[in-house]
């Protein structure tokens, strides 16, 4: 039976109170799928924010990882996206139980990510992967940027007022205008809104492969914020933005516009959730005004 890391459990339950029962069942669930898929757990659990990852050996001797995910609108379609990419630029999906959020994936190197690469090389690599993974959205992706934008037009002003008008009104109005202008015409591509340096690991089949996608249907430009968020002190926002736009072949206007929307969403989230403020304030307070221009 595995031991669930205390930090992982506490943080997830703090962010998602309904996750408490899921966390309690994790050891039993891990044992169940290890038996079902004939796996041997060979190391300590690793984790992100909403998923526990166990290094395993398959019955045929091939190393893999067993991932147990807490299902949210952002995480539930991960196996659909991975299956569509078929291991091209992303971790290869070996098996899954979509309804339960359990995935069997090829094992990558958790100790090597783009966080540790020189910033220029990291930006070039992640932008190249962004373009490479931009395929027509497959059936089964439940979130659509067109629908989400329509909802945000109503929700963002309500949340802004409810939380005490935490940033200038013109920033809110500009974000809502982006949803009105670009939402109805959003593209039909498979987009990973959580493509950042920590989510690109060293692989064996390919040099670098994406993990932990949060997929939706929409504009590729919607992903930009994730690539600006980390390692901000290592390059100017203008320079990094221009590099990603150029390498990935993005529309600069849409990329900056969607960055503003996502920065506004994050700002409201950090105001509401005090547990995340230390992590979020430096980034959002730098990126939101920049995106507004």
Domains of the chain and any CATH numbers: 6-107 (3.30.200.20), 112-292 (3.90.1200.10)
Catalytic residue, candidates 77, 159, 187, 194: 194
Instruction: Kindly report which listed range (2-11, 51-60, 78-87, 159-168) carries the lowest average pLDDT score.
Output: 2-11
* Separation of alpha carbons 113 and 207, rounded Å: 11
Question: Residue 16 above 90 pLDDT?
Answer: no
What is the number of residues in the chain?
Answer: 293
pLDDT in tens, 112-141: 999 999 999 999 999 999 999 999 999 999
Mean pLDDT of the chain: 95
Determine the pLDDT at residue 14: 84
* Separation of alpha carbons 64 and 92, rounded Å: 10
Instruction: Kindly report which listed range (86-90, 182-186, 265-269, 272-276) carries the lowest average pLDDT score.
Output: 272-276
Helices (H), 52-143: 78-85, 119-132
* Separation of alpha carbons 62 and 227, rounded Å: 32
Backbone angles phi and psi of 29, in degrees to 5: -65, -40
pLDDT in tens, 22-47: 999 999 999 999 999 999 999 999 99
Give residue 164's region: left, alpha or beta (phi > 0; psi -120 to 50).
left
pLDDT tier, 15 (very low <50, low <70, confident <90, very high otherwise) = confident
Is the Cβ–Cβ distance between 64 and 57 less than 8 Å?
Answer: yes
Mean pLDDT score, 41-69: 95
* Separation of alpha carbons 202 and 111, rounded Å: 8
In degrees, rounded to 5, the angle at the alpha carbon of residue 216 between the alpha carbons of residues 19 and 247 is 125
Residue 278: active-site member: no
pLDDT in tens, 230-283: 999 999 999 999 999 999 999 999 999 999 999 999 999 988 876 655 667 788
Return the HEC string of 10-35.
Answer: HHHHHHCHHHHHHHHHHHHHHHHHHH
Instruction: Kindly report which listed range (87-101, 107-121, 183-197, 270-284) carries the lowest average pLDDT score.
Output: 270-284
Mean pLDDT score, 11-18: 86
Determine the pLDDT at residue 94: 98
* Separation of alpha carbons 190 and 215, rounded Å: 7
pLDDT tier, 211 (very low <50, low <70, confident <90, very high otherwise) = very high
Mean pLDDT score, 200-204: 96
* Separation of alpha carbons 255 and 257, rounded Å: 5
* Separation of alpha carbons 188 and 15, rounded Å: 31
For the purposes of burial, counting CB atoms within 10 Å of the CB of 175, is it exposed (0-12), middle (13-18) or buried (19 or more)?
buried
Determine the pLDDT at residue 1: 78
What's the Rg (C-alpha) of the chain? 19
């Amino acid at each position: 039976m595995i031991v669930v890391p205390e930090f992982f459990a506490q943080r997830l339950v703090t962010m998602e109170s309904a996750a408490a029962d899921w966390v309690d069942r994790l050891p039993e669930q891990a044992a169940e799928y290890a038996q079902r898929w004939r796996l041997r757990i060979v190391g300590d659990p690793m984790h992100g924010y909403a998923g526990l990852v166990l290094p395993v050996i398959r019955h045929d001797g091939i190393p893999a990882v067993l991932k147990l995910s807490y299902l949210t609108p952002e995480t539930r379609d991960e196996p659909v996206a991975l299956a569509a990419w078929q291991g091209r630029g992303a971790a290869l999906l070996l098996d899954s139980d979509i309804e339960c959020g359990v995935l069997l994936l090829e094992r990558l190197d958790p100790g090597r990510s783009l966080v540790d690469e020189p910033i220029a090389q990291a930006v070039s690599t992640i932008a190249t992967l962004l373009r490479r993974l931009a395929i027509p959205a497959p059936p089964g992706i439940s979130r659509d940027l067109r629908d989400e934008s329509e909802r945000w037009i109503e929700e963002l002003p309500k949340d802004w007022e409810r939380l005490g008008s935490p940033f200038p009104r013109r920033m809110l109005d500009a974000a809502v205008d982006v949803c009105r202008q670009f939402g109805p015409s959003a593209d039909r591509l498979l987009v990973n809104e959580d493509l950042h340096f920590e989510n690109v690991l060293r692989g064996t089949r390919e040099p670098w492969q994406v993990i932990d996608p949060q997929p939706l249907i929409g504009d590729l430009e919607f992903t930009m914020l994730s690539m600006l968020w980390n390692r901000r002190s290592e390059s100017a926002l203008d320079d990094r933005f221009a590099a990603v736009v150029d390498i990935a072949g993005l529309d600069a206007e849409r990329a900056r516009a969607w960055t503003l929307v996502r920065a506004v969403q994050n700002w409201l989230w950090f105001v509401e959730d005090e547990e995340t403020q230390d992590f979020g304030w430096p980034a959002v307070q730098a990126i939101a005004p920049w995106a507004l221009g």
